[in-house]
């Protein structure tokens, strides 16, 4: 097992106050039901941002809490890595807006695009920058305004997603510390990109009247195929992170998986031999907040005392790309 180079010094979340329940879809004229959504996904409600709440503003709320809990001032942050699939605009990055908003005067800032796995990827990149000696302190955020890219006329996708942000302050460890990131794993398979994607609206098929008319700039997903790959990939990711940390499922105190569907979470936990009593689930309250889901869940788990000093956590994600990844973290 490698020496943990980086540790989580503080966490926070930024959640829009507005709640949309499953029953609220009736008002949109969608043929769906609370029963269908709960049975197939476990989702009961999701938070939806107002026009004034942006990917940057939710990230800033999460970041300020994380910084205050870590005792870190904006000027001490060396890098801001913002994972998002819903940048506030296309150029420049939303991370630079966050840098300006926080007054993080000496920070490098960039967005990272790996869909729902983005925050795990971002944490791994930040750890690497610490390992190579480039940075000491990073702000790693997942922030998503999924409500801005889902098709509100497509019942097969719009019921699944929600908005929110989660942030951590990651710091370089002092020598001989046993807390921090014990292992990390990342993979991708771009041959499957079209199972979960936004076909248009980028450089290849820029926005046009035709794009607006056929609604091809919105998220499209082949649900069943995505489900199958999610279970398989998250299972592999559990194995790889556990192997990397020389641990077994029994050694894990808490599994914090990406929150897309409670059935995927249950299948992943079963595969990893971790009982559901050790799994953090909040998909019922948030829906799928893409790359924000793990840092939001982690922040809640810390706040409620389920994660504390000495806890060993397995974090595992899967998303569009497909991308997947995992890490074992000791607190």
> Active-site residues: which are they?
116, 258, 288
> Residue 159 Cβ, how far from ligand UT7 at the closest point, in Å?
4
Q: What is the DSSP string of 250-275?
A: GG-SEEEE--S-HHHHHHHHHHTT--
Which residue in the set 110, 152, 197, 227 belongs to the binding site for ligand UT7 (CB under 6 A)? 227
In degrees and rounded to multiples of 5, residue 172 shows phi and psi of -70, 135
The torsion of the CA quartet 144, 44, 320, 18, rounded to 10 degrees, works out to -10
Residue 116 touches ligand UT7, criterion: CB under 6 A: yes
Asked if 117 is part of the footprint of ligand UT7 (rule: CB under 6 A), the reply reads no
35 binds ligand UT7 (CB under 6 A): no
Tokens read off for 151: 């098709």
Nearer to ligand UT7, 65 or 188 (CB): 188
Question: CA 4, 10, 14, 20 torsion: positive or negative?
Answer: positive
Region 300-329 residues binding ligand UT7, contact defined as CB under 6 A: 318-319
Q: How far is the CB of 320 from ligand UT7 (least distance, A)?
A: 6
When binding is defined by CB under 6 A, the residue of 67, 96, 252, 260 that contacts ligand UT7 is 260
Contact between 288 and ligand UT7 per CB under 6 A? yes
User: CB under 8 Å to 99, separation ≥6 — which residues?
Assistant: 80, 107, 109
- Cis peptide preceding 2, ω within 30 of 0: no
- Which of residues 87, 264, 307, 316 is near ligand UT7 by CB under 6 A? 264
Q: Is 201 in the site for ligand UT7 (CB under 6 A)?
A: no
Which residues of 84-136 form beta strands (DSSP E)? 108-112
Residue identified by tokens 């998503």 is: 144
Give the residue from 271, 277, 282, 278 showing the smallest Cα distance to 253.
278
Q: Rounded to the nearest 10 degrees, how much is the dihedral formed by the CA atoms of 119, 124, 128, 131?
A: 110
Smallest distance from the beta carbon of 224 to ligand UT7, in angstroms? 4
Kindly identify the residues of this chain, within the stretch 140-179, that bind ligand UT7 according to CB under 6 A: 155-156, 159
Total number of residues that touch ligand UT7 (CB under 6 A): 20
Q: What's the min distance (Å) between Cβ of 36 and ligand UT7?
A: 4
Residue 185 CA to chain centroid, in angstroms?
15
Strand-pair partners of 138: 79, 170
Q: Does 224 bind ligand UT7 (CB under 6 A)?
A: yes
Tokens at residue 303, please?
């706040």
Q: With CB under 6 A as the contact rule, which of the stretches 6-14, 182-190, 220-228, 274-282 interacts with ligand UT7? A: 220-228
Piece of the chain touching ligand UT7 by CB under 6 A; list 58-66, 80-88, 209-217, 259-267: 259-267
Check binding of 21 to ligand UT7 (CB under 6 A): no
Query: Is 197 one of the binding residues for ligand UT7 (CB under 6 A)?
Result: no
Interface contacts to ligand UT7, rule CB under 6 A: 32, 36-37, 40-41, 116, 155-156, 159, 223-224, 226-227, 230, 260-261, 264, 288, 318-319
């Amino acid at each position: 097992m490698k020496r943990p180079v980086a540790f989580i010094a503080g966490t926070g979340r930024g959640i829009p106050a507005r709640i949309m329940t499953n029953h609220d879809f009736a008002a949109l004229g969608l043929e769906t039901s609370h029963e269908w959504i709960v049975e197939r996904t476990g989702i009961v409600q999701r938070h939806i941002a107002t026009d004034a709440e942006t990917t940057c503003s939710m990230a800033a709320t999460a970041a300020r809490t994380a910084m205050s809990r870590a005792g870190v001032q904006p000027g001490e942050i060396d890098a801001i890595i913002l994972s998002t699939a819903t940048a506030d605009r296309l150029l420049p990055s939303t991370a630079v807006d966050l840098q300006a908003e926080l007054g993080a005067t000496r920070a490098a800032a960039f967005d990272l695009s790996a869909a729902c796995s983005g925050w795990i990827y971002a944490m791994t990149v930040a750890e690497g920058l610490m390992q190579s000696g480039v940075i000491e302190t990073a702000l790693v955020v997942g922030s998503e305004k999924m409500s801005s890219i889902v098709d509100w006329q497509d019942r097969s996708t719009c019921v699944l997603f929600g908005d929110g942000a989660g942030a951590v302050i990651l710091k370089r460890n002092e020598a001989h510390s046993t807390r921090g990131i014990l292992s990390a794993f990342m993979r991708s398979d771009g041959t499957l990109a079209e199972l979960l994607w936004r076909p248009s609206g980028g450089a290849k098929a820029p926005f046009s009247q035709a794009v607006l008319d056929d609604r091809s700039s919105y998220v499209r997903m082949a649900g069943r195929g995505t489900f199958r790959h999610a279970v398989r990939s998250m299972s592999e990711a559990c194995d790889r992170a556990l192997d990397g940390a020389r641990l077994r499922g029994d050694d894990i105190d808490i599994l914090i998986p990406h929150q897309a569907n409670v059935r995927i979470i249950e299948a992943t936990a079963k595969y990893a031999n971790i009982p559901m009593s050790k799994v953090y689930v909040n998909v019922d309250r948030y829906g799928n907040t893409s790359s924000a889901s793990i840092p939001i869940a982690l922040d809640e788990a810390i706040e409620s005392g389920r994660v504390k000093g000495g806890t060993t956590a397995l974090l595992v994600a899967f998303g569009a790309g497909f991308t997947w990844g995992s890490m074992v973290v000791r607190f």
